[in-house]
Amino acid sequence: MFDSAILIPSLLNGITTGAVYALIALGLTLIYGVLHIINFAHGAGLMLALYGVYLLKERLGIDPYLALPVMVVGMFLLGYCLQRLVINRASHGKDENILLVTLGLSIIMENAALLAFQSDTRSIETPYTLATVTIGPAMIAVPKLVAFAGALVVSAILVWLIQATDLGRAIRAVAREKQGAKLMGIHVDHVYAISFGIGLACLGAAACFLLPAYYVNPQVGNGFVLVAFTIVVLGGMGSFTGALLGGLLIGVVESLGGLYLGESLGQIGIFGIFILVLLFRPQGLFGARS
Amino acid sequence: MKRWRRDIAVIVLFVGAILILTTSSDSGVLLNFLMMALYATLLAQAWNILGGFGGQFSFGHALFFGTGAYIQSIAQMQWGLGAWAALPLALLGAAMVGIFVGALSFRYGLKGSYFALVTLAFAEVFRILALSVNFTGAGVGLMLPLKESLANMQFGSPRGYVYLILVFVVLALLISCWLRHSRFGAYLQAIRDNEDAARALGVNPFGIKLGAIALSAALMGAGGAFYVQVFHYIDPGLAFGPHTSVEALVAAIVGGMGTLWGPVLGAFLLHGLSDITRNLFGQLPGINMIIYGLVLVLIVTFMPRGIAGLSATLRARLGGRNG
Amino acid sequence: MRTRRIFMTQSAAAASAMAFPLIGGAQPKTVKVGVLHPVTGALAYSGQQCRLGAMMAVEDINKAGGIKSLGGAKIEALLGDAQSQPQAGAAEVEKMNEAGVSAVVGAFASAICLATTQAAAKHNLPHVVDVGVADQIVERGLKNTFRFGPGYRKCAETAVANLHVLNTLAGKPARTVMIIHEESLFGTGTANLLARELPGYGYEVKEVIKHANPTRDFNNIVLRMKAVNPDIVIPANYYNEYALLVRTMQQQKVQPKAIYSVLGGAASSYKFVKECPDAANGIIDCNHWFNPKDKRSAAMRKRVEAQGQFFSYEVFMAYTATRLLADAIERAKSADRAAIIQALENSTFSDHIMPYGQTKFVNGQNTGAQPLMTQVQKNDIKVIVPREFREVEPLFPMKA
């Protein structure tokens, strides 16, 4: 129905878009996998991170890619403090309360941004914003290729962190068996906060890769939340490889769906997969049966 | 036996209070507030049946709301039915969608977050479909013609709408009351507390949960039908978007899940809060919502069992300090 | 019983009046006007721009001596937030009604306007619609609703007719069209009308693409554009998506003979021209625009930009809608709602910066209202059609 001159670029577009989705989902899957909370504030976190990248570029002239270390550390600290000082205290550990607290936080964050930055959309100009690389019949935007590479690197770092470090072992212990971990002397609250912090740090990285190809306004996070949830479920809650591959897969599904069904109806592919995975393989591609 | 008599008595008092307020005031603001607060109550009550009593959290309750709203509109505009004839169809349609989603989800054993996410996904799927098919008006939506009359379920004065929504709220209260005191309700709550144990005792979780979701969906569909009769316009975003889903669950949880009056308290409090804050600091838009978000977080922090559970929370706190 | 009713009504009114931020000071003899827009939520930017325009008008009117026929009574604006939701808008109208407003100006978005005009009608409260392009708003038979600007049917018809004129003058280089629209009320409604009108003028609509709000990536749509290769691309969407679409086209080096938008979100937008001059260059738009020959419009633009804001259509639409209302109050010689409705019905308001000539309302729609065709040339937005407002010669097609 479509010849390769359309299909191949569409696939490549899907993969690179999916890479950005994966970056956003990586943080969400860690937060869900460890703290078992559905983080309603994830979209707002992405929005704050995007404003951070924007400000660093506009006020201090720092290129988004060079801003990576600053953003990652900054978002980590924000996440750590939010979890330790607010979410933990407010929710008393009850699931439904955590939901409301993250919801309340997202409302506060979105409207604080509205107050501080007003509602207009902002974007940045970089020398590579419009540059493309030709791959076969496709012209792929440079920022998207960088995002793809970034997603691979970030996933690798996270996998290494979880598998090969003491911190990672502690996180895995807490995720699997909280009480047991406590008995082993692991400081659970601290680990929870670190995990949440890492989750937000991933958003910091995602923002650095996303802003050159996109824009920021107070509501920008809302457009990514549902897709991120889908990827987390598809990949398996708690699995980084799953989030990466799930993200790429969803990106391709969205792309091909848009091509065959039209951009609006094509979105149904994403949620169709969401439902099918939930019904028939809820542990996702790489998750463990819980 | 006495417990349910007491509940009914309080329901009667509640209805009486609303009626007194409605008939003695000419204030459009008050009547509009009552109407919208009762509407929010209905949504919260519907969610509470499945989420509070049944323990199955739904993030996509707008699915049933939108179904009811669209059927109410389509039945009048395309099938030539009257508003009152359309209403039972709207409730039935919503219930059927509920049974469909419930059957799939419960058959495949979805619980907790998984169930919540699948309801969210279904709501999104319906939203996208509604955007693409013609009989829902696609992106343009459906606009109900303005024709005020009792036969058309369109009232010139908000009083008429208050009475209408009150009927639904009372219906939901009676259903919740029934869940508190009936065998079905006992089974439902047993399933919520420990599904395996309940099954071992001979309860059929699948059937019970299906009944609960059908009831919950029907009431939510009533909310959707009511919305269309008041605002005369529905589109896929308004029908199936996350706003309504969130409104329902927040009010129910803040008010106190699994209680009779929780949804009422939560809906009135949150609606009142949003109404009051909307115009505070009007010069600086956004502050009003920040205050709303802060209050939400504070309520959750200090009233973890919701408003209705406040006495239990206080008892636990005081007991803990003394014990 | 009666005293209790009065007490409740009065205390509710007092409470709601106190709940509103009062602008213009609490002086005796003021005319209260509700200014209602979605200043939070998804539509916050447009809502805030509208509010800016309306408040500028109130300021100007009061500075010039207020409503002279009422002894110099000042206009007191009661600000309302529709929170980007119809039900919040309707609730605000109730509050404004109780606070004793004589009229309401608002509410930008069509879906919200549907709810607010209806709520206002219950109290016979005059409601001037500032933007709200859906034609249903003025076709419901509500006597209190008045829209100063054009609806999307007028915009679509004008756009198609003018496209034909431009195309014919250039020797008919363009024949195929691709429409790209956002999926909700305004985009779908506009696209439907265009798809219906265009074939009648001999154009082939090769494809109509509907996209979501928000759309995160336009590469696929641009790919389709490459495949279909239309002569003209017609976008009808909001700012963010329009900007992303056009920039993606620039990035993928897709350049149709013309980008011809109808109510395009970023098309006749100074913000877009400033931030993406290359992508914006040459874009033609059929949109709300001010009369460029009226010197006051340039002055207003400077004034808005001095505040650090862009002179977007929301600003001048809301400004002129408010001035229309003030003119009606002046002629009604009264703050009474029925009198104002009557005055609006008979309005001949012509002292404005819009290209509408003398106002004439038929069933709530100003028949003189029209959009203008603009084109981005040399980093500025200039009117090209109709001739009486032309500032530069149109460049059509952009690419041979």
Contacts of A125 in chain C (CB under 8 A): 275
Query: Does residue C61 surpass a pLDDT of 90?
Result: yes
- pLDDT of C399 reads 66
Contact partners, residue C191, CB within 8 Å, separation at least 6: C179, C181, C208, C210, C236
Q: Give Cα separations from C66 to C17, C60, C75, C342 (angstroms).
A: 21, 9, 7, 20
Query: Does residue C148 surpass a pLDDT of 70?
Result: yes
pLDDT band at residue B181 using 50, 70 and 90 as cut-offs: very high
Q: Which chains touch C (3 or more CB pairs under 8 A)?
A: A, B
Q: CA of B310, closest CA in chain A: separation in Å?
A: 14
DSSP assignments along C220-236, one per residue: HHHHHHHHH--SEEEEE
Cβ-defined contact of A107 to B292 (cutoff 8 Å): yes
Question: Is A134 inside any structural domain?
Answer: yes
Query: Does residue C2 surpass a pLDDT of 70?
Result: no
Q: Which two tokens stand for residue A159?
A: 């996998």
Query: Does residue C7 surpass a pLDDT of 50?
Result: no
The helix (H) or strand (E) run that includes residue C17 is: helix C2-19
Q: Tell me the one-letter amino acid at C355.
A: P
Mean pLDDT of chain C: 89
Q: CA of B123, closest CA in chain A: separation in Å?
A: 9
Query: Does residue C355 surpass a pLDDT of 90?
Result: yes
Question: Is A73 inside any structural domain?
Answer: yes
Contacts of A94 in chain B (CB under 8 A): 304
CA-nearest residue to B297 within chain A is A101
pLDDT digits 0-9 by tens, C265-278: 788 889 999 988 88
Of A36, A107, A114, the CB nearest to B285: A114
pLDDT band at residue C342 using 50, 70 and 90 as cut-offs: very high
Please indicate if any CB of chain B lies within 8 Å of the CB of A60. Answer: no
Q: What is the dihedral of CA C373, C378, C379, C380, to 10 degrees?
A: -40
- pLDDT of C10 reads 44
Helix%, strand%, coil% for chain B, nearest 5: 75, 0, 20
Cα separation, A171 vs A156, whole angstroms = 17
Query: Does residue C19 surpass a pLDDT of 70?
Result: no
Contacts of C1 in chain B (CB under 8 A): 24
Pairing assessment for the beta strands C258-262 and B233-234 based on DSSP bridges: unpaired
Question: Is B153 inside any structural domain?
Answer: yes
Of A103, A107, A267, the CB nearest to B289: A107
Question: Is A245 inside any structural domain?
Answer: no
What is the mean predicted confidence (pLDDT) over B27-54?
Answer: 94
Cα separation, A149 vs A144, whole angstroms = 9
| Cβ count within 10 A of residue C13 | 18
3 state SS of B255:
helix
What is the mean predicted confidence (pLDDT) over B2-26?
Answer: 91
Contact partners, residue B281, CB within 8 Å, separation at least 6: B287, B288, C21
Query: Does residue C120 surpass a pLDDT of 70?
Result: yes
- pLDDT of A135 reads 86
In 3D space, the residue among C293, C308, C197, C180 whose CA is nearest the CA of residue C244 turns out to be C180
pLDDT digits 0-9 by tens, A220-254: 998 898 899 999 999 998 889 999 999 999 999 99
Cβ-defined contact of C48 to A118 (cutoff 8 Å): yes
Question: Is A72 inside any structural domain?
Answer: yes
- pLDDT of C128 reads 97
Give the total residue count for chain C.
400
Longest dimension (CA), chain C: 79
- pLDDT of C23 reads 57
- pLDDT of C367 reads 95
CA-nearest residue to B39 within chain C is C87
What is the mean predicted confidence (pLDDT) over B112-133?
Answer: 92
- Give the CA radius of gyration of chain C: 22
Contacts of C14 in chain B (CB under 8 A): none
Q: Give Cα separations from C299 to A138, C274, C304, C353 (angstroms).
A: 48, 19, 9, 11
Are C199 and C192 spatial neighbours (Cβ–Cβ below 8 Å)? no
Q: Tell me the one-letter amino acid at C118.
A: Q
CA-nearest residue to A280 within chain B is B108
3 state SS of A122:
strand
Share of chain C above pLDDT 90, in %: 74
Beta bridge partners of C260: C284
Cα separation, A101 vs A83, whole angstroms = 10
Contacts of A112 in chain B (CB under 8 A): 286, 290
Cα separation, A254 vs C222, whole angstroms = 15
Please indicate if any CB of chain C lies within 8 Å of the CB of B105. Answer: no
Q: Give Cα separations from C85 to A225, B270, C51, C111, C113 (angstroms).
A: 21, 16, 17, 8, 10
Interface test with A, best of C46, C220, C248, C252 (most A CBs within 10 A): C220
Contacts of B141 in chain C (CB under 8 A): 111, 184-185
- pLDDT of C176 reads 95
Query: Prior bond to B88 cis, omega within 30?
Result: no
Burial B33-57 (b: 16+ CB within 10 A, else e): bbbbbbbbbbbbbbbbbbbbbbbbb
Query: Does residue C114 surpass a pLDDT of 90?
Result: yes
| Cβ count within 10 A of residue C303 | 14
Question: Is B204 inside any structural domain?
Answer: yes
Question: Is A116 inside any structural domain?
Answer: yes
Contacts of A279 in chain B (CB under 8 A): 104-105, 108, 110, 118
pLDDT digits 0-9 by tens, A97-122: 888 899 999 999 999 999 999 888 89
Question: Is A81 inside any structural domain?
Answer: yes
The burial of A261, by beta-carbon neighbours within 10 Å (0-12 exposed, 13-18 middle, 19 or more buried), is given as middle
Q: CA of A263, closest CA in chain C: separation in Å?
A: 5
Contacts of A92 in chain B (CB under 8 A): 304
Domains contained in chain B, number: 1
What is the mean predicted confidence (pLDDT) over B158-186?
Answer: 94
- pLDDT of B278 reads 82
Q: Give me the total of CB pairs closer than 8 Å, taking one residue from chain A and one from chain B.
A: 119
Pairing assessment for the beta strands C204-211 and C232-236 based on DSSP bridges: unpaired
Cβ-defined contact of B108 to A279 (cutoff 8 Å): yes
Contact partners, residue C200, CB within 8 Å, separation at least 6: none
Cα separation, A282 vs A234, whole angstroms = 8
Question: Is B275 inside any structural domain?
Answer: no
Q: Which two tokens stand for residue C127?
A: 């409601």
ipTM for the predicted complex comes to 0.89
Question: Is B276 inside any structural domain?
Answer: no
CA-nearest residue to B243 within chain C is C85
Question: Is B27 inside any structural domain?
Answer: yes
3 state SS of C38:
coil
Cα separation, B98 vs B104, whole angstroms = 10
Contacts of C236 in chain B (CB under 8 A): none
Which residue segment(s) compose the domain that B112 sits in?
2-243
- pLDDT of C21 reads 58
Question: Is A264 inside any structural domain?
Answer: no
Are B73 and B88 spatial neighbours (Cβ–Cβ below 8 Å)? no
Cα separation, C59 vs B284, whole angstroms = 18
Cβ-defined contact of C12 to B231 (cutoff 8 Å): no
Cβ-defined contact of A264 to C247 (cutoff 8 Å): no
pLDDT band at residue C4 using 50, 70 and 90 as cut-offs: very low
pLDDT digits 0-9 by tens, B140-165: 899 998 888 888 888 888 899 999 99
Please indicate if any CB of chain A lies within 8 Å of the CB of C184. Answer: no
Contact partners, residue C39, CB within 8 Å, separation at least 6: B285, C47, C48, C51, C81, C82
Q: CA of C251, closest CA in chain A: separation in Å?
A: 5
Cβ-defined contact of A278 to B118 (cutoff 8 Å): yes
Least confident of A219-233, B235-249, C12-26: C12-26
- pLDDT of B62 reads 97
Contacts of B306 in chain A (CB under 8 A): none
Interface test with B, best of A278, A283, A289, A290 (most B CBs within 10 A): A278
Domains contained in chain A, number: 1
Q: CA of A26, closest CA in chain C: separation in Å?
A: 18
What is the reported pTM?
A: 0.91
Question: Is B267 inside any structural domain?
Answer: no
Q: What is the dihedral of CA C106, C111, C115, C118, to 10 degrees?
A: 80
pLDDT per residue rounded down to tens, chain A (290 residues): 677 888 999 999 999 999 999 999 999 999 988 888 888 899 999 999 999 999 999 999 999 999 999 999 999 999 999 999 988 888 777 777 888 899 999 999 999 999 999 888 898 888 888 888 888 888 888 999 999 999 999 999 999 999 999 999 999 888 888 778 888 888 888 999 999 999 999 999 999 999 998 999 998 998 898 899 999 999 998 889 999 999 999 999 999 988 888 888 888 989 999 999 989 988 888 876 54
Query: Prior bond to C38 cis, omega within 30?
Result: no
Contacts of A141 in chain C (CB under 8 A): 219, 251
Give the total residue count for chain B.
323
3 state SS of C93:
helix
Question: Is B119 inside any structural domain?
Answer: yes
3 state SS of C393:
coil
Give the total residue count for chain A.
290
pLDDT digits 0-9 by tens, C181-210: 999 888 898 999 999 999 999 999 999 999
Interface test with B, best of C4, C36, C40 (most B CBs within 10 A): C40
Of A13, A123, A222, the CB nearest to C275: A123
Q: CA of B101, closest CA in chain C: separation in Å?
A: 25
Cβ-defined contact of C220 to A218 (cutoff 8 Å): no
Cβ-defined contact of C5 to B156 (cutoff 8 Å): no
Which residue in the block uniquely carries the two structure tokens 């009792």?
B150
CA-nearest residue to C45 within chain B is B285
Which residue segment(s) compose the domain that A168 sits in?
24-221
Contact partners, residue B124, CB within 8 Å, separation at least 6: A226, A267, A271, B60, B240
Please indicate if any CB of chain B lies within 8 Å of the CB of A86. Answer: yes
Question: Is B270 inside any structural domain?
Answer: no
Cβ-defined contact of B139 to C95 (cutoff 8 Å): no
